[in-house]
């Protein structure tokens, strides 16, 4: 298959996943701010940092909640805003239109049309929950159409790899929001405020109810970190994402009869996650672990691009 087609599919699904996860990051920021007795615009500096867009927003620019939310949802100057991602995802889908089923293309196009209308102007605070729900729901419709209609061939594998590399990146960033959006003081650790903030993280990745099933509803930082990093049954956990990445790369290796640096990197990351304990993560420092993970996850993405000659 031409590298250009692989590139289009890989990035189509990365952008669709990114749009949803940026919306989830905004949701995490909003939920965090609701735990404050007073509005704290400085919290949004941390959300922008976690999203990796603080520099693009403007280092000298004063951060307010309204400006940060607008920047992350609809600002064309931000290549990772929801609207930018949807447009890039649709552009990639159009480029590989003949490689997609009609259902997948129509779900993607309808996603773009609805978001253009919803994000044509600044979102009012009272409308924000519904807008975030629409973004998540539409992304789910694209994935559902894709999974229900596509052949399980190399097209499918490149698309899945893009999805899970992006999802792993964004789960780590959402979890890292708790590092940046600091508690008012050490005395609040273990308090109702601390618990409310951890609950907000779980809700932002649609993991609140499943966490309660596994851990009996008690909010402990180590348990929440374990759930989002090392629980293989949680579909947004880092270990789940890497099990799928390794599996899909394995299918490509058999299809093409060759392995690349990406295979070794993915295997190494997966092996590390499989042997890791949450105590080791917490001893290293959650923020330091997540920062290191994001770097290696980005390296894998570049190695996939190089190995499969996406731009040839």
pLDDT score at 184:
43
pLDDT score at 122:
96
Q: How far apart are CA 53 and CA 59, in angstroms?
A: 10
pLDDT tens digit string along 24-49?
889 888 877 776 655 567 678 878 88
CA 69 to chain centre: 17
pLDDT score at 292:
95
pLDDT tens digit string along 120-174?
999 999 999 999 999 999 999 999 999 999 999 999 999 999 999 999 998 998 8
pLDDT score at 49:
83
Q: Are 84 and 76 in contact (CB under 8 A)?
A: yes
Q: How far apart are CA 242 and CA 260, in angstroms?
A: 17
Mean pLDDT of 92-99: 96
Q: Are 170 and 238 in contact (CB under 8 A)?
A: no
Torsion angle, CA of 292/296/297/299, rounded to 10 degrees?
Answer: 140
pLDDT tens digit string along 238-278?
999 999 999 999 999 999 999 999 999 999 999 999 999 99
Q: How far apart are CA 61 and CA 285, in angstroms?
A: 30
pLDDT score at 287:
87
pLDDT tens digit string along 180-224?
554 444 344 445 556 667 777 787 788 888 998 998 867 788 898
In the chain, where the domains are located? 3-307
Q: Where are the beta strands (DSSP E) in 100-238?
A: none
How far, CA to CA in Å, does 217 sit from each of 24, 109, 160, 198, 214? 21, 39, 32, 12, 8
Q: Which carries the bigger pLDDT value, residue 225 or residue 1?
A: 225
Alpha carbon distance, N-terminus to C-terminus of the chain: 11
pTM comes to 0.89
pLDDT score at 246:
98
Q: How far apart are CA 12 and CA 253, in angstroms?
A: 22
């Amino acid at each position: 298959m031409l590298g250009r087609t692989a590139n289009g599919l890989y990035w189509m699904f990365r952008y669709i996943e990114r749009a949803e996860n940026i919306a989830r990051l905004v949701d995490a920021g909003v939920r965090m701010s609701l735990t404050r007795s007073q509005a704290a615009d400085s919290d949004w500096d941390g959300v922008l940092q976690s999203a990796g867009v603080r520099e693009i927003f403007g280092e000298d620019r004063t951060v307010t909640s309204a400006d940060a939310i607008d920047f992350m949802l609809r600002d064309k100057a931000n290549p990772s805003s929801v609207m930018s991602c949807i447009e890039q995802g649709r552009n990639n889908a159009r480029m590989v239109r003949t490689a997609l089923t009609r259902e997948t293309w129509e779900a993607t196009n309808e996603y773009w049309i609805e978001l253009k209308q919803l994000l044509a102007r600044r979102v009012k605070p009272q409308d924000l929950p519904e807008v975030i729900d629409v973004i998540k729901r539409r992304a789910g419709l694209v994935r559902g159409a894709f999974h229900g209609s596509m052949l399980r061939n190399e097209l499918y594998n490149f698309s899945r790899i893009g999805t899970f590399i992006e999802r792993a990146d964004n789960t780590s960033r959402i979890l890292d929001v708790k590092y940046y959006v600091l508690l008012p003081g050490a005395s609040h650790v273990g308090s109702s405020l601390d618990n409310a903030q951890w609950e907000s993280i779980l809700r932002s990745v649609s993991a609140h109810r499943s966490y309660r099933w596994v851990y009996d509803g008690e909010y402990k930082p180590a348990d929440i970190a374990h759930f989002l990093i090392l629980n293989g049954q949680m579909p947004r956990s880092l270990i789940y994402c890497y099990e799928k990445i390794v599996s899909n790369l394995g299918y490509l290796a058999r299809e093409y009869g060759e392995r690349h640096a990406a295979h070794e990197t993915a295997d190494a990351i997966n092996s590390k996650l499989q042997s890791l304990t949450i105590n080791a993560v917490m001893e290293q420092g959650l923020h330091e672990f997540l920062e290191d993970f994001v770097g290696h996850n980005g390296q894998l993405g570049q190695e996939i691009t190089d190995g499969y000659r996406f731009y040839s």
